[in-house]
Amino acid sequence: MPNDTTTLPRILAFDVFGTVVDWHGSIVREVDALGLGVDAVVFARDWRAGYKPAMARVMSGELGWMRIDALHRIILEEVLSKHGVTSLDDTAKDDLNRAWHRLDPWPDTVAALTRLKTRFMLCTLSNGNIGLLADMAKRAGLPWDCVLSAEVFHKYKPDPGTYLGVADVFDAAPNDVMLVAAHQSDLDAARDCGLRCAYIERIDEFGADAPKDISGDARNNFHARDLADLADQLNC
């Protein structure tokens, strides 16, 4: 439930992977469909696990700036090697890499976003690149008012430039923006920049067999089971 209902922000900025879309189930679906003879559940988690270390290589200067599509492709080569997959040519690897453009929304997502859009400006704030986010929105029917990405700022979350960049885009004060995310570390970084925070539980983000801690943080302005619950709390 909210701990501050005296005022509400004008802009809701959404983390996407895990918060809005089910990356784990979607990647498992794509890998299973290829018949690679691997454990698709483990494969999906391994691919995702390479994400933060790869971003760290960019942020440290070891690698030059690149879109998440390019990072996902680098990580995919490593995961394919780890799982002993040698049957995919470069074209097939490129298509599998674009599975991140084809992630399915959580069941509550589209209807809840549609409700929230009646009262708030909705935008993405994702490390995913613009083309990826646009493809995903088109396929899944995600009703964004604006697509913002780390690509716009050439900084990955949790760099302060991403959170403050959203406020700058809309010529708004930081506290007129609320980050909506299923990851407490993301929300902590946003709060440090003066944004408000809404935590979404998504207990099955890593699969039903690997429930995650959904305790959140009492400092969050809102704590919701899912986006539909958030829309209820915001009277949408």
**Residue ranges covered by each domain of the chain:** 11-20+106-233, 24-101
Given a cut of 70, whether residue 97 has pLDDT beyond it is yes
Nearest-angstrom CA–CA distance, 134 and 130: 6
Among the CATH numbers 1.10.287.3610, 3.20.20.80, 3.40.50.1000, 3.40.50.2000, which is that of 11-20+106-233? 3.40.50.1000
pLDDT greater than 50 at residue 66: yes
pLDDT in tens, 131-179: 999 999 999 999 999 999 999 999 999 999 999 999 999 999 999 999 9
Topology, domain 24-101: DNA polymerase; domain 1 (1.10.150)
6 pLDDT higher than 80: no
User: How far apart are the C-alpha atoms of 171 and 165, rounded to whole Å?
Assistant: 10
- Give the mean pLDDT of 204-217: 96
Average pLDDT over residues 184-189: 98
At 14, the pLDDT band (50, 70, 90 cuts) reads: very high
Q: Are 181 and 155 in contact (CB under 8 A)?
A: no
Please give the Cα distance from 7 to 181 (Å, whole number). Answer: 20
Instruction: Tell me the pLDDT band of 104, cut-offs 50, 70 and 90.
Output: very high
Burial of 92 (0-12, 13-18, 19+ CB in 10 A): exposed
The pLDDT of residue 2 is above 90 = no
pLDDT for res 7: 83
Give the DSSP letter string of 62-103.
Answer: SS----HHHHHHHHHHHHHHHTT-----HHHHHHHHGGGGSP
Look over the chain and give the mean of its residue pLDDT values, rounded to a whole number. 95
User: What does the pLDDT read at residue 221?
Assistant: 96
Tell me the two tokens of residue 179. 């980050």
* Element spanning 222, H or E: strand 222-224
The pLDDT tens digits for 195-208 are 999 999 999 999 99
Tens digit of each residue's pLDDT (9 = 90 or more) over 40-62: 999 999 999 999 999 999 989 99
